[in-house]
Chains A and B, each alone.
Chain A
Amino acid sequence: MSHNLTSNSLKNRPLKDETKLLDKLFSTVVKFSPKLLIAILILPVLGGLLGVLLPAFGWLPALDKTQFGLQGFQQLVQTPGIAQMISLSFFSSIVSGLLAFVITLLLLANYFDSPWLARIQRLLGPILVIPHAAAAIAIAFLITPSGMIARLLSPWLTGWQSPTDWLLPHDPYGISIIMGLTLKELPFLLLMTLSAIAQPELSIKLRAQYRVALSLGYYPITAFFKAVLPNIYPLMRLPMLAILAYASASVEMPLILGPNTPPTLAVAIMNWFHDVDLSLRIKASAGAILQLFITLSVLFTWWLLEKLSQAISSKSLSNGQRTYGDVFWSKVINIFTLLLIGFIALALLGMVFWSFAGFWNFPLAVPEQWVMVHWQSALLQVQTPIINSLAIGLVATSIALILTLLTLEFEKQNGAQLSHFSSVIIYLPLMIPSIAFLFGLVWLQEAVHSKATFINVALAHLLFVLPYVFLSLATSYRLLDSRYAQVAASLGASPIKIFLQLSLPQLLMPIMMASALGLAISFSQYLPTLLVGGGRLNTVTTEAVSLANGASRRTSAVYALIQMLLPAIAFSLIWLMSMQKNRQKAQVKHNNKTARYITKVNR
Chain B
Amino acid sequence: MSSSFEINSLQIKSLTIMRQQTPLLSLNETIIGGDVLTIMGPSGSGKSTLLNWLTGMLPKEFQADGQLYLNGENITQVVSYRRNIGLLFQDALLFSHLSVAGNIAFAMPKGDSKTRAIKINQALSDVGLAGLENRQPESLSGGQQARVALLRVLLSQPKAILLDEPFSKLDSQLRQETRQLVFEQIRQHQLPVIMVTHDESDAIAANGKVLHLKTPQQDI
B40 at the interface (CB under 8 A from A): no
What residue of chain A has the Cβ atom nearest to residue B153's Cβ? A216
Known: A216-B152, A317-B102. A223 touches B97 (CB 8 A): no
Whether A217 lies near B91 (C-beta < 8 A) is: no
Contacts of A318 in B (CB 8 A): 98, 101-103, 105-106
Digitize B85-96: 1 where CB-to-A-CB distance is under 8 Å, 0 elsewhere.
111010101011
The smallest beta-carbon distance between A318 and chain B, in angstroms, is 4
The stretch from A151-159, A203-211, A543-551 touching chain B is: A203-211
Binary contact readout A258-274 vs B (1 if CB under 8 angstroms, 0 otherwise): 00000000000000000
* Choice from B55, B82, B98, B108 contacting A320 with Cβ under 8 Å: B108
Q: Bound complex: CA of A219 vs CA of B91, how far in Å?
A: 22
List CB contacts (< 8 Å) of A330-379 with chain B. Answer: none
Stretch at the interface among A140-148, A224-232, A478-486, A521-529: A224-232
Out of B89, B106, B116, which one reaches A216, CB within 8 Å? B106
Contact yes or no, A220 B111, CB < 8 A = no
Question: Taking the complex as formed, is B109 at the interface, i.e. its CB lies under 8 A from any CB of chain A?
Answer: yes
Q: Which residues of A lie under 8 Å from residue B84 when comparing CB positions?
A: 217
Give Cα A213 to B57, complex, Å: 13
The CA-CA distance from A219 to B153 in the complex, in Å, is: 16
Interface residues of A in 461-503 (CB under 8 A from B): none
B213 interface contact, C-beta 8 A: no
A211 B55 Cβ-Cβ under 8 A: yes
B95 and A230 form a contact (CB under 8 A): yes
Residues of A within 8 A of B106 (CB): 213, 216, 226-227, 317-318, 320
Total A-B pairs, Cβ < 8 A: 75
For residue A321, CB closer than 8 A to chain B, the reply is yes
B110 touches A211 (CB 8 A): no
Interface residues on B, range: 20 to 34
Q: How far apart sit A532 and B102, CA to CA, in the bound complex (Å)?
A: 55
Are the CB atoms of B85 and A227 closer together than 8 Å? no
- Cβ of A216: which chain B residues have Cβ within 8 Å of it? 86, 106-107, 152-153, 156
B81 x A218 contact (CB < 8 A)? yes
Q: A318 CA to B104 CA in the complex, in Å?
A: 8
A319 to B104, CA, bound (A): 10
CB closest chain-B residue, reference A320 = B110
How many angstroms between the C-alpha atoms of A320 and B109 in the bound complex?
A: 5
User: Which A residues touch B98, using CB under 8 A?
Assistant: 230, 317-318
Q: Which residue of A lies closest to B103 (CB)?
A: A318
Cross-chain contact B81 with A220 (CB below 8 angstroms): yes
Question: 8 Å CB contacts to B: which residues of A92-148?
Answer: 115
A553, CB-defined interface residue at 8 Å: no
The distance in angstroms between the C-alpha atoms of A220 and B82, with both chains bound, is 11
A278 within 8 A of B: no
Contact A215 B152, beta carbon cutoff 8 Å: no
Q: Which of B51-89 contact A (CB under 8 A)?
A: 55, 57, 60, 80-87, 89
Whether the Cβ atoms of B57 and A211 lie closer than 8 Å is yes
Given contacts A212-B87, A317-B98, A319-B113, contact A223 B105 (CB under 8 A): no
A-chain residues with CB within 8 Å of residue B156 when the two chains form the complex:
216-217
Cβ of A322 under 8 Å from chain B: yes
Instruction: Give the complex CA separation of A231 and B94 in angstroms.
Output: 12
- Give the residues in chain A near B97, CB-CB below 8 Å: 230-231, 317
Question: How many Å lie between the Cα of A218 and that of B109 in the bound state?
Answer: 10
CA distance A464 to B127 in the complex (A): 57
- A322 & B111 in contact (Cβ 8 Å cutoff): no
Contact A208 B91 (CB under 8 A): yes
Cα A115 to Cα B60 in complex, Å, equals 10
A537: B residues at CB distance < 8 A: none
Chain B residues closer than 8 Å to A217, beta-carbon distance: 81-82, 84, 156
Closest residue on chain A to residue B87 by CB atoms: A215
The reply to whether B96 and A231 contact each other, CB–CB distance below 8 Å, is yes
Q: How far is the CA of A205 from the CA of B97 in the complex (A)?
A: 13
Distance between Cα atoms of A230 and B55 in the complex (Å): 25
How far apart sit A318 and B99, CA to CA, in the bound complex (Å)?
10
> Taking the complex as formed, is A214 at the interface, i.e. its CB lies under 8 A from any CB of chain B?
yes
Smallest beta-carbon distance A236→chain B, Å: 14
Is A320 a contact of B111 with CB atoms below 8 Å? yes
| Cross-chain contact of B93 among A205, A218, A220, A226 (Cβ < 8 A) | A205
Residue of B80, B96, B103 touching A214 (CB-CB under 8 A): B80
Chain B residues whose C-beta falls within 8 Å of the C-beta of A208 in the assembled complex = 89, 91, 93
- Which residues of chain B are within 8 angstroms of A319 by Cβ–Cβ distance? 105, 110, 113
Indicate if the CB atoms of B95 and A215 lie closer than 8 Å.
no
Identity of the chain A residue whose Cβ is nearest the Cβ of B96 in the assembled complex: A231
Q: Contacts A319-B110, A319-B113: A215 and B102 contacting too (C-beta < 8 A)? A: no
Q: What is the minimal beta-carbon distance from A80 to any residue of chain B, in angstroms?
A: 49
A400 to chain B, nearest CB (A): 36
What residue in chain B is nearest A113 (Cβ atoms)? B57
Which of B93, B105, B107, B108 makes the CB contact (< 8 A) with A209? B93
Specify which chain B residues have a CB less than 8 angstroms from the CB of A320 in the assembled complex.
105-111, 116
Closest to A204 in B: B91
A115, A217, A230: residue with the most chain B Cβ atoms closer than 10 Å? A217
Digitize A22-44: 1 where CB-to-B-CB distance is under 8 Å, 0 elsewhere.
00000000000000000000000
A–B complex contacts, Cβ < 8 Å, 10 sampled:
A208-B89, A211-B57, A215-B55, A216-B86, A216-B152, A226-B106, A227-B106, A317-B106, A318-B101, A320-B116
> Which of A's residues lie within 8 Å of B, judged by CB?
115, 205, 208-209, 211-220, 223, 226-227, 230-231, 317-322
**Known contacts A212-B93, A214-B81, then 19 further A-B pairs from the complex at CB < 8 Å, ordered by chain A residue:** A211-B55, A215-B83, A215-B85, A215-B87, A216-B106, A216-B153, A218-B81, A220-B81, A227-B95, A230-B95, A231-B95, A317-B97, A317-B98, A317-B102, A318-B102, A318-B105, A319-B113, A320-B106, A322-B110
Query: Which 10 A-B pairs have CB atoms at the shortest separation, nearest pair first?
Result: A230-B97, A318-B105, A320-B110, A215-B87, A318-B102, A214-B81, A318-B106, A216-B156, A216-B107, A321-B110
